[in-house]
């Protein structure tokens, strides 16, 4: 019995992966989004790909603790569009100048 | 005008080509420019560029241009040049890069440090270790005296078993010989020497520079073994709100609240506040004495800052109140003081300060600068140690005017200035009064010659006209030689001097039944030469970055105030007769075996000796009391992504040290045997869990629970002739656990 339970425990919780289009521009944007999601409940790993056309954010998460909807909301909360959701104005206002729309990636 | 046109043409042609021709090779090309106030730009010649984690770099040519090969994992490009702020930028493509550097007036403006927890300032010709906020967060508790836990060069110890004051030590000599500045204003000196470290809360600090050996002449003549410069949180850079609370198993509680507000583009205002208290009577070793004094401290700074293109001005006020009570557990200061019933210690400090810093900036000539620092303070202390009463008042005025400019180009820079220091001391100990007014106008000149990527030479000197001790010349010399892009060799030599405050700097010598005795002539200024050599080398081991630092220093005293405890009934104070020196050698390895993991291993050895004068007048060369010859330091730190979890562990081993023979009636002679205190270890650890806006941390100090047995001699008879609480060489208190939280709004 003990042996079985150990194996069951070692089995990692099932995770899902989602790719979300964002309005990130620069390295600072990447950091803001990655930091926010790192501290979002249920998120296991996050990566913002600045070289991709739509600044795809890949999120690995535990579906028991969070949902794609919640993850997108977390992204909009810090001021970025996430797929069909538009950036939260309050979060957008706080972004550094270079991260606002029309900003240029250095 | 003509050259500028050509240069513009070149710039654009390079820009045009960059997209096509250069993208085929894995080479990044670009230009480094300096923006002038009139909107024009000028190339920066000889700026160095290097990828983070890369061994080799390049530098800009006479047009400010560079090309640097790029391998795919390298994104962080570090750009630096003498006289400019070092910049790190992200480069992801092979597009032509245009980099604008901002001018740095290190002495007039702040330097923003973004790096690993502790690092060597690579640009600085003086061997300087930088302790960042990241390293400060490793040791959560609580103020400057506790901020050196993970630093190999500075060590901290309690000075006695009653007052709770701490001493720092650098190169084998006590903190008195370190010039400690707060934002380039000499701060921990005079009557503030003993408790001053406790008056700078950890949450106020943004970085600490530890410069070993002779310092720059700019901030005065008092740096004899080194210089600390502490930078505080700035109103325009810091978090809008930073709240920290802390509590520990000894009953100490703390609240720190920092506020920063930008009023408009030019003005900002900041508040740094602190309140802490310890009201738990703690006597772990059952000797009837409090292991730590009870205390309450209130402390605050209000600072205003104005920044425009032409002018930077800061001014503010500081206020401090602290009350300490210690001694026997049953001592009640209201009833028992001067009664002889119970032994008591009390110390009340009030300190008020005003400061202003103004810098005129020349946007069209960024290497040029004019700055003025003014600081005024009143420091008041009233203390008692059993029947020994002490009061002291210090009034000081400090001003420093610095002008910097270049000769031809930025490879030849100079700084010149005028300073004025006024110290007015009025002290009373037992039935004697000591009054002293020092008035010291001074002037200094420092010249820096740079051969880019090769050699930096700094030659400085100052002349001070002391009203009591005459005209004094203080020369200093520094050199940094780049053996290779990864190896730097530094040399330094310089003189330093200071006027000691015999009583205020030696409170720890008053908590005993010894009689304080001045032997021979009146105390003269302490004087020393310091010589040093250091080598820092970046290396890669298994593809991971590391750094090796080797250094050796010697301090040679021409005069020193010797605090002699070799006769059990006295503390004898006298001017040095004969020799006094300190040799120090240190080796330190920093290595990052994995991402976000840092390991530090350091060993240092001291040889500190001075000639003591026996009562019969002979000289005997003795190893300095309470200084351990050997010390090991090991630090391990690991953080998960975005510091969600942080772990930190420090282990220190302190070798044996000589202590004075305190046996009844002992008088030291050349034939007396040497007595040693044993070696001991000290383990500290901390875990931090971060949330999006706040952190909580739990940690422990002295986890191995080592304490010095019977730190107070004859504790059962505090008014008897053998009572002595000054013989402290190890921790007085055992294991301590703390918990705290930080909340930040950016």
The ipTM assigned to this model is 0.71
Are the Cβ atoms of A26 and B90 closer than 8 angstroms? yes
pLDDT of residue B302: 95
pLDDT of residue B1: 45
From residue B16, alpha-carbon distances to B24, B65, B68, B69, B90 in Å are 14, 15, 18, 19, 21
Residues of B with CB below 8 A from A105's CB? 92
pLDDT of residue B319: 96
Does residue A32 belong to the interface with chain B, where contact is any CB pair within 8 Å? no
Q: Which residues contact B314 (CB under 8 A, 6 or more apart)?
A: B303, B304, B305, B306, B355, B356, B357, B358
Q: Which residues contact A52 (CB under 8 A, 6 or more apart)?
A: none
Residue B303 binned pLDDT confidence (cut-offs 50, 70, 90) = very high
Q: Round the CA-based radius of gyration of chain B to a whole number and report it.
A: 27
pLDDT of residue B10: 45
Tell me: cis bond preceding B245? Omega within 30 of 0 counts. Answer: no
Residue pair B605/B629 in contact by the 8 Å Cβ criterion: yes
Higher pLDDT, B739 or B123: B739
Higher pLDDT, A5 or B702: B702
Mean pLDDT of B283-298: 92
From residue A74, alpha-carbon distances to A42, A92, B160, B434 in Å are 12, 12, 54, 66
Residue pair B211/B184 in contact by the 8 Å Cβ criterion: no
Residue B43 binned pLDDT confidence (cut-offs 50, 70, 90) = confident
Are the Cβ atoms of A39 and B644 closer than 8 angstroms? yes
How much is the pTM? 0.79
Residues B575-619 have pLDDT tens digits of 999 999 999 999 999 998 888 888 999 999 999 999 998 888 888
Nearest to A38 among B90, B92, B642 (CB): B642
Does residue B90 belong to the interface with chain A, where contact is any CB pair within 8 Å? yes
pLDDT of residue B29: 83
Does residue B265 belong to the interface with chain A, where contact is any CB pair within 8 Å? no
Task: Answer whether residue A12 shows pLDDT above 70.
Answer: no
Task: Answer whether residue B387 shows pLDDT above 80.
Answer: yes
Residues of B with CB below 8 A from A26's CB? 90
Are the Cβ atoms of A34 and B642 closer than 8 angstroms? yes
pLDDT of residue B149: 81
Q: How large a percentage of chain B has pLDDT more than 70?
A: 92
In angstroms, what separates the C-alpha of A95 from chain B's closest C-alpha? 11
Task: Answer whether residue B56 shows pLDDT above 50.
Answer: yes
Mean pLDDT of B473-502: 92
Vertex B6 angle, CA B2 and B11, to 5°: 145
Q: Which of A31, A39, A46 to mutate to test the interface with B (most CBs of B within 10 A)?
A: A39
Q: For residues B160 and B410, give the distance between their C-alpha atoms in angstroms, rounded to a whole number.
A: 50
Task: Answer whether residue B93 shows pLDDT above 80.
Answer: no
Residue A81 binned pLDDT confidence (cut-offs 50, 70, 90) = confident
Are the Cβ atoms of A38 and B641 closer than 8 angstroms? yes
Q: For residues A50 and A54, give the distance between their C-alpha atoms in angstroms, rounded to a whole number.
A: 8
pLDDT of residue A11: 52
Mean pLDDT of B531-545: 89
Are the Cβ atoms of A50 and B92 closer than 8 angstroms? yes
- The H-or-E segment that residue B352 falls in is strand B344-361
Nearest by Cα to B288 from B603, B608, B714? B714
Residues B172-206 have pLDDT tens digits of 898 889 999 999 899 999 999 888 888 999 889 88
Fold of A13-97: Alpha-Beta Plaits (3.30.70)
Nearest by Cα to B48 from B33, B35, B59, B64? B59
Does residue B709 belong to the interface with chain A, where contact is any CB pair within 8 Å? no
Residues of A with CB below 8 A from B641's CB? 34, 38
Nearest to B644 among A36, A38, A51 (CB): A38
Residues B654-694 have pLDDT tens digits of 999 998 888 888 888 777 888 899 999 999 999 999 888 88
pLDDT of residue B317: 96
Q: What is the DSSP letter of B5?
A: H
pLDDT of residue B103: 67
Burial of B87 (0-12, 13-18, 19+ CB in 10 A): middle
Are the Cβ atoms of B90 and A38 closer than 8 angstroms? no
Mean pLDDT of B358-383: 88
Task: Answer whether residue B379 shows pLDDT above 90.
Answer: yes
Task: Answer whether residue B37 shows pLDDT above 80.
Answer: no
In angstroms, what separates the C-alpha of B151 from chain A's closest C-alpha? 29
Which chain A residue's Cα is nearest to B746? A94
Q: Which of A10-14, B300-304, B700-704 has the lowest mean pLDDT?
A: A10-14
Task: Answer whether residue B106 shows pLDDT above 80.
Answer: no
The DSSP string of B364-397 is: TSTT-EEEEEEEEEEEEEEEEETTEEEEEEEEEE
Task: Answer whether residue B453 shows pLDDT above 50.
Answer: yes
pLDDT of residue B45: 79
Task: Answer whether residue B522 shows pLDDT above 70.
Answer: yes
Residues of B with CB below 8 A from A27's CB? 90
Interface of A with B in 1-30 (CB under 8 A): 26-27
Higher pLDDT, B491 or B148: B491
pLDDT of residue B105: 46
Does residue A38 belong to the interface with chain B, where contact is any CB pair within 8 Å? yes
Does residue B72 belong to the interface with chain A, where contact is any CB pair within 8 Å? no
Task: Answer whether residue A2 shows pLDDT above 50.
Answer: no
Q: Which of A35, A93, A104 to mutate to test the interface with B (most CBs of B within 10 A)?
A: A35
Does residue B542 belong to the interface with chain A, where contact is any CB pair within 8 Å? no
- In chain B the domains, ranked by start, together with CATH numbers, are 2-101 (2.60.40.1120), 118-297+312-745 (2.40.170.20)
pLDDT of residue B314: 93
Task: Answer whether residue B648 shows pLDDT above 80.
Answer: yes
Are the Cβ atoms of A35 and B690 closer than 8 angstroms? no
pLDDT of residue B139: 67
Mean pLDDT of chain B: 86
Other C-beta atoms closer than 10 Å to the C-beta of A38 total 18
Residue ranges of domains in chain A: 13-97
pLDDT of residue B420: 96
Q: Which residues contact B643 (CB under 8 A, 6 or more apart)?
A: B688, B690
Q: Which of B129-133, B218-222, B587-591 has the lowest mean pLDDT?
A: B129-133
Task: Answer whether residue A106 shows pLDDT above 60.
Answer: no
Are the Cβ atoms of B691 and A35 closer than 8 angstroms? no
Q: How large a percentage of chain A has pLDDT more than 90?
A: 0
Does residue B737 belong to the interface with chain A, where contact is any CB pair within 8 Å? no
Torsion of CA B206, B212, B215, B216, to 10 degrees: -60
Mean pLDDT of B529-554: 91
Nearest to B642 among A35, A51, A105 (CB): A35
Residues B20-34 have pLDDT tens digits of 333 334 778 888 888
Higher pLDDT, B1 or B193: B193
Beta strands in chain A (DSSP E): 16-20, 43-48, 57-61
Residues A36-52 have pLDDT tens digits of 888 888 888 888 888 77
Q: Which of B81-85, B266-270, B401-405, B491-495 has the lowest mean pLDDT?
A: B81-85
Residues of A with CB below 8 A from B100's CB? none
Are the Cβ atoms of B692 and A27 closer than 8 angstroms? no
Residues of B with CB below 8 A from A36's CB? 692
**Alpha-carbon dihedral sign for residues B562, B567, B572, B577:** negative
Higher pLDDT, A85 or A7: A85
Residue pair B746/B323 in contact by the 8 Å Cβ criterion: no
């Amino acid at each position: 019995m003990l042996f079985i339970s150990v194996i069951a425990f070692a089995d990692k919780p099932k995770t899902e992966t989602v790719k979300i289009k964002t309005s990130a521009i620069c390295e600072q944007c990447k950091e803001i989004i990655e930091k926010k999601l790192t501290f979002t409940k249920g998120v296991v790993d996050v990566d913002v790909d600045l070289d991709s056309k739509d600044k795809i954010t890949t999120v690995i998460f535990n579906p028991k603790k969070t949902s794609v909807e919640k993850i997108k909301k977390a992204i909009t909360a810090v001021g970025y569009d996430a797929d069909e959701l538009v950036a939260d104005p309050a979060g957008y206002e706080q972004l550094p100048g270079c991260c606002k729309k029309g900003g240029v990636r250095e | 005008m003509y050259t500028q046109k050509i240069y513009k043409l070149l710039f654009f042609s390079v820009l045009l080509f960059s997209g096509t021709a250069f993208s085929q090779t894995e080479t990044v090309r670009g230009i480094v420019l300096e923006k002038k106030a009139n909107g024009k730009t000028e190339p920066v010649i000889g700026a160095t560029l290097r990828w983070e984690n890369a061994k080799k770099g390049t530098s800009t040519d006479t047009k400010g241009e560079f090309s640097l090969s790029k391998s795919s994992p390298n994104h962080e490009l570090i750009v630096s040049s003498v006289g400019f702020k070092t910049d790190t930028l992200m480069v992801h493509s092979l597009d032509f890069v245009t980099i604008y550097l901002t001018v740095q007036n290190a002495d007039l403006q702040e330097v923003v440090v973004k790096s690993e927890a502790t690092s060597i300032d690579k640009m600085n010709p003086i061997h300087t270790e930088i302790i960042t906020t990241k390293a400060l967060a490793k040791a959560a508790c609580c103020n400057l005296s506790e901020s050196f836990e993970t630093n190999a060069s500075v060590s901290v110890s309690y000075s006695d078993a009653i007052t709770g004051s701490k001493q720092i030590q650098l190169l084998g000599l006590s903190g008195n010989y370190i010039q400690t500045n707060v934002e380039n204003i000499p701060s921990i000196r005079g009557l503030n020497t003993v408790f001053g470290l406790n008056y700078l809360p950890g949450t106020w600090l943004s970085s600490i520079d530890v410069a070993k050996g002779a310092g720059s002449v700019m901030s005065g003549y008092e740096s004899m073994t080194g210089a600390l410069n502490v930078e505080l949180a700035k109103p325009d850079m810091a978090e809008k709100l930073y709240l920290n609370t802390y509590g520990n198993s000894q009953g100490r509680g703390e609240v720190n609240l920092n506020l920063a507000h930008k009023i408009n583009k030019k003005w900002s205002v900041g508040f740094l506040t602190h309140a802490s208290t310890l009201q738990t009577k703690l006597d772990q070793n059952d000797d009837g004495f409090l292991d730590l004094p009870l205390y309450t401290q209130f402390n605050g700074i209000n600072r205003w800052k104005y920044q425009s293109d032409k002018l930077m001005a800061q001014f503010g006020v500081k206020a401090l109140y602290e009350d300490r009570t210690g001694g026997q557990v049953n001592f009640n200061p209201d009833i028992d003081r001067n009664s002889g019933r119970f032994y008591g210690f009390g110390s009340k400090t009030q300190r008020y300060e005003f400061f202003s810093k103004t810098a005129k900036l020349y946007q069209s000539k960024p290497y040029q600068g004019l700055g003025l620092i003014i600081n005024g303070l009143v420091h008041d202390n009233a203390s008692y140690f059993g029947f020994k009463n002490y009061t002291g008042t210090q009034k000081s005025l400090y001003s420093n005017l610095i002008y910097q400019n270049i000769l031809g180009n930025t490879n030849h820079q100079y700084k010149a200035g005028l300073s004025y220091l006024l110290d007015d001391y009025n002290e009373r100990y037992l039935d004697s009064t000591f009054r002293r007014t020092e008035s010291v106008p001074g002037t200094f000149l420092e010249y820096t010659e740079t051969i880019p990527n090769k050699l930096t030479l700094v030659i400085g000197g100052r002349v001070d006209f002391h009203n009591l001790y005459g005209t004094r010349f203080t020369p200093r010399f520094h050199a940094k030689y780049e053996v290779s892009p990864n190896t730097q060799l530094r040399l330094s030599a310089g003189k330093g001097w200071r006027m000691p405050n015999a009583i205020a700097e030696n409170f720890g010598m008053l908590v005993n039944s010894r009689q304080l005795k001045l032997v021979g002539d009146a105390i003269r200024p302490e004087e020393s030469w310091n010589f040093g050599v250091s080598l820092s080398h970046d290396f890669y081991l298994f593809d991971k970055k590391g750094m090796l630092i080797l250094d050796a220093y010697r301090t040679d005293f021409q005069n020193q105030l010797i605090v002699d405890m070799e006769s059990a009934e006295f503390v004898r104070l006298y001017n040095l007769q004969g020799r006094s020196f300190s040799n120090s050698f240190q080796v330190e390895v920093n290595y990052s075996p994995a991402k976000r993991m840092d390991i530090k291993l350091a060993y240092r050895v001291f040889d500190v000796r001075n000639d003591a004068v026996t009562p019969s007048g002979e000289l005997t060369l003795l190893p300095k009391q309470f200084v351990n010859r050997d010390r090991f330091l090991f630090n391990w730190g690991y953080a998960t992504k975005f510091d969600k979890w942080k772990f930190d562990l420090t282990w220190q081993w302190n070798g044996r040290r000589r202590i004075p023979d305190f046996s009844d009636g002992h008088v030291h002679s050349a034939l007396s045997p040497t007595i040693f205190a044993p070696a001991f270890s000290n383990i500290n650890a901390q875990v931090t869990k971060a949330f999006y806006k706040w952190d909580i941390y739990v940690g422990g100090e002295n986890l191995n629970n080592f304490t010095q047995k019977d730190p107070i001699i004859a504790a059962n008879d505090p008014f008897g002739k053998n009572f002595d609480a000054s013989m402290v060489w190890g921790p007085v208190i055992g294991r301590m656990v703390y918990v705290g939280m930080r909340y930040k709004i950016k």
